């Protein structure tokens, strides 16, 4: 079964570019973790060298990459529902089945790998190797209750990146309603204002309310006119700069984390809308290797931290953790590259043997739920897209 619906060259281009964008974002998260989750020694640097170092490391803005994931998820889920003139119980049930088969199988595999990585890396916690949240995660008891809660996606201590899957699950439940509200023009502005208000609520970040606007703005992208302002390409370029460096610029202000999250949400909306509607073709995003990384991005994202912890732990037994942490630039680079290679290989294997077969099963069951006589489907134009590989976020 082809993973892209071949309806037109234009549609193929924007679907490939959205897929590639997801792949680039997952690599940003991976290298961001290689930089951020270990307590490296901080050698003194001359001011120009320190500024260059900050520019290079802040570019791997893992938090902004996750925000981009959520906006992109809202966009492609909107594409999958856009072909229906109205929502019915069968359509919503089909949507839920496909989401469950998309998210859970690899999540369950990642739990096994995460437990292995916890056992291997836990001995380094006492040496102060890891940052606070990762140290707490590694010391989490591996119990039946914690494992069952992890299987549901609600307990995320075994594998840090699982927290974003919990957010995906939460907004997947409400997405059909959210989509209907955003599609109704008279309710659109009120809905987005309400989502922005929810996102600004002073609640703990891990609850996920701060990402409400991500899914709302993402859902809006396929529903807007495809005509863009003449300078929209410049706005998209500015959006990329914001995604890379807003936290670097805002760091001295000590703002609540939800403020840069909101700024990045708007920037991600501008970037994704440009890729979707402009018709511009970016050679990097249309290259086969980057598209392939995008296809594997869910596996790379979910599996990279356990793999990274195993790689670091094995290397620390050979060379010693103090030696590795005292050479931050070299360790970050080599650890990142090694993790990319190993995680990509593992993600390719799980994609072929686990993700794709079960995702296709979920899509088959979803189609079986839909009664063609009851599901009101209007013809799909070439620019609207269907339930393609980019909707498997």
pLDDT of amino acid 365: 93
Q: Span 255-276, mean pLDDT? A: 95
pLDDT band at 54 (very low <50, low <70, confident <90, very high): confident
pLDDT of amino acid 260: 95
Q: DSSP per residue over 254-281, as a string?
A: T--THHHHHHHHHHHHHHHHHHHHS---
Query: Among 7-11, 281-285, 323-327, 373-377, where is mean pLDDT lowest?
Result: 373-377
pLDDT band at 385 (very low <50, low <70, confident <90, very high): very low
pLDDT of amino acid 10: 54
Say whether pLDDT at 379 is over 60: no
pLDDT band at 223 (very low <50, low <70, confident <90, very high): very high
pLDDT band at 181 (very low <50, low <70, confident <90, very high): very high
46 or 337: which carries more pLDDT confidence? 337
Q: Span 189-194, mean pLDDT? A: 97
Query: Among 63-77, 168-182, 216-230, 378-392, where is mean pLDDT lowest?
Result: 378-392
The rounded mean pLDDT for the chain is 89
Over the stretch 97-111, which tens digit does the pLDDT of each residue have?
Answer: 999 999 999 999 999
Over the stretch 192-208, which tens digit does the pLDDT of each residue have?
Answer: 999 999 999 998 888 89
Q: Span 302-323, mean pLDDT? A: 96
Judge contact between 77 and 170, C-beta under 8 A.
Answer: no
Among 381, 294, 293, which Cα is nearest to 11's?
Answer: 381
Over the stretch 323-359, which tens digit does the pLDDT of each residue have?
Answer: 999 999 999 999 999 999 999 999 999 999 999 999 9
pLDDT band at 12 (very low <50, low <70, confident <90, very high): low
Give dist(CA 309, CA 125) in Å, integer.
11
pLDDT of amino acid 52: 82
Say whether pLDDT at 388 is over 50: no
Q: DSSP per residue over 9-68, as a string?
A: HHHHHHHHHHHHHHHHHHHHHHHHHHHHSB--------HHHHHHHHHHHHTS-HHHHHHH
Judge contact between 309 and 124, C-beta under 8 A.
Answer: no
pLDDT of amino acid 133: 94
Alpha helices in the chain (DSSP H): 9-36, 47-58, 62-82, 89-121, 132-138, 144-152, 162-183, 185-199, 212-220, 232-250, 258-277, 288-295, 297-319, 321-325, 328-350, 356-369
pLDDT of amino acid 3: 35
pLDDT band at 242 (very low <50, low <70, confident <90, very high): very high
pTM of the model: 0.89
Query: Among 4-18, 212-226, 285-299, where is mean pLDDT lowest?
Result: 4-18
Torsions phi, psi for 38 (to 5 deg): -115, 145
230 or 302: which carries more pLDDT confidence? 302
Give dist(CA 279, CA 345) in Å, integer.
32
pLDDT of amino acid 95: 95
Say whether pLDDT at 83 is over 50: yes
pLDDT of amino acid 4: 33
DSSP helix/strand/coil, 84:
strand
pLDDT of amino acid 279: 80
Judge contact between 261 and 67, C-beta under 8 A.
Answer: yes
């Amino acid at each position: 079964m082809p993973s892209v619906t071949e309806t037109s060259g234009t549609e193929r281009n924007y679907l490939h570019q959205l897929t590639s964008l997801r792949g680039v974002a997952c690599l940003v998260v991976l290298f961001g973790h290689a930089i951020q989750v270990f307590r490296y020694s901080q050698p003194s640097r001359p001011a120009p060298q320190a500024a260059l170092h900050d520019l290079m490391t802040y570019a791997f803005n893992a938090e902004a990459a996750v925000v981009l994931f959520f906006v992109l998820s809202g966009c492609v889920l909107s594409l999958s529902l856009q072909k229906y003139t109205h929502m019915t119980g069968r359509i919503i049930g089909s949507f839920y089945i496909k989401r469950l088969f998309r998210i859970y199988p690899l999540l369950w595999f990642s739990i096994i790998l995460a437990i292995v990585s916890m056992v291997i890396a836990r001995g380094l916690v006492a040496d102060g190797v890891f940052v606070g949240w990762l140290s707490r995660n590694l010391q989490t008891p591996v119990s039946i209750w914690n494992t069952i809660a992890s299987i549901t996606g609600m307990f995320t201590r075994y594998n840090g990146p699982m927290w974003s899957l919990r957010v995906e699950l939460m907004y997947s439940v409400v997405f059909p309603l959210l989509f209907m509200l955003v599609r109704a023009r008279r309710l659109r502005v009120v809905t987005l204002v309400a989502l922005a208000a929810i996102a600004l609520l002073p609640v703990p970040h891990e609850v996920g309310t701060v990402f409400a606007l991500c899914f709302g703005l993402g859902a809006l992208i396929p529903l807007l006119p495809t005509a863009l302002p003449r300078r929209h390409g410049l706005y998209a370029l500015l959006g990329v700069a914001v995604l890379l460096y807003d936290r670097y610029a805002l760091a001295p202000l000590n703002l609540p984390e939800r403020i840069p999250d909101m700024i990045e949400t708007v920037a991600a909306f501008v970037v994704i809308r440009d890729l979707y509607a402009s018709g511009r073709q970016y050679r990097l995003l249309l290259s086969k290797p980057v598209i392939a990384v995008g296809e594997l991005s869910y596996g790379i994202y979910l599996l990279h931290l356990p793999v990274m912890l195993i790689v670091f732990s094995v290397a620390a037994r050979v060379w010693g953790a103090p030696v590795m942490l005292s050479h931050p630039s070299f360790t970050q680079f080599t650890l990142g590259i090694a993790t990319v290679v190993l995680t990509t290989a593992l993600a390719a294997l799980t994609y072929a043997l686990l993700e794709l077969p079960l995702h296709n099963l979920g899509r088959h069951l979803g189609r079986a739920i839909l009664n063609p006589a009851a599901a009101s489907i209007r013809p799909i134009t070439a620019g609207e897209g269907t339930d393609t590989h980019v909707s498997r976020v």
